[in-house]
Amino acid sequence: MTPGRAFLDLLRRDLMLAMRRRSELANPLLFFVMVIVLFPLGVGAEPKLLAQMSAGVVWVAALLAALLTLDSIFRSDFEDGTLEQILIGAHPVPMLVLAKVIAHWLVTGLPLLLVAPVLATFLGMNPDAIGALMLSLLLGTPVLSLIGSIGVALTVGLRRGGVILSLLVLPLYVPVLIFGAAAVDAAASGMPVTGQMYIMAAFLVLAVTLAPLAAAAALRISLS
């Protein structure tokens, strides 16, 4: 089997397994919706205030929803022994890690991206800012999954690694959160967002290039 075929087969396998656990798939999406819907109840329903805070609210909710599902990237494969087979197999481990991360994003990050415009409208965000929000989430949510895969790989062998995982990845999420929310705020103010988007794209390129290598090395350390 060629490496490309192994990549596609692993991606297809993870997507099929995810479809069999549809109740688990709904958890991050419901969490994302609930955080944003409950937010006006906590700070008040004043339209101008909600519009000003909408970018940060949506991005923080997306970040937390992504963090909620990170453990699923490698956990089931670790428990059934598939992860060991991936590590000792003939195919490049970073490429297979990338396949698993893409599958994770397709079942968690993509639904958040699709529902975000509706929730942003609920918070009073203007149409120009919604377009910037969609683009920033498209560039930023894969970065969250890629960075998170490193933390999951380091903690996959721990029984209660959730707290450690959060401490590892949350500081690395901060730049993505800052530039993602800043792009939306700039668009809402009528300012150009090219600079922020270029930085987000650079984050994505660096994450795609380096995160699978780091996650593969972390998996070897965790399973050694």
Domain count, the chain: 1
Q: Give the Cα-Cα-Cα angle 93, 202, 177 (nearest 5 degrees).
A: 95
pLDDT at res. 223: 80
pLDDT at res. 1: 67
pLDDT per position as a tens digit, 119-146? 988 888 888 889 999 999 999 999 999 9
pLDDT at res. 161: 63
- HSE-up of residue 21 (Cα within 13 Å, Cβ side): 15
Show Cβ contacts of residue 51 under 8 Å, excluding neighbours closer than 6 positions. 123, 124, 125, 126, 188
pLDDT per position as a tens digit, 67-117? 888 888 888 788 777 888 888 878 888 999 999 999 999 998 899 999 999
| H helix runs in 89-193, sequence order | 93-104, 110-122, 127-155, 162-188
pLDDT at res. 98: 93
pLDDT per position as a tens digit, 148-190? 999 998 888 777 666 788 888 889 999 999 999 999 989 888 8
- What range does the domain containing 111 cover? 3-223
pLDDT per position as a tens digit, 17-69? 888 877 777 888 899 999 898 888 877 777 788 888 888 899 999 999 888 88
Residue 123, number of CB atoms within 10 A of its CB? 20
**Predicted confidence (pLDDT) at residue 8 exceeds the cutoff of 80:** yes
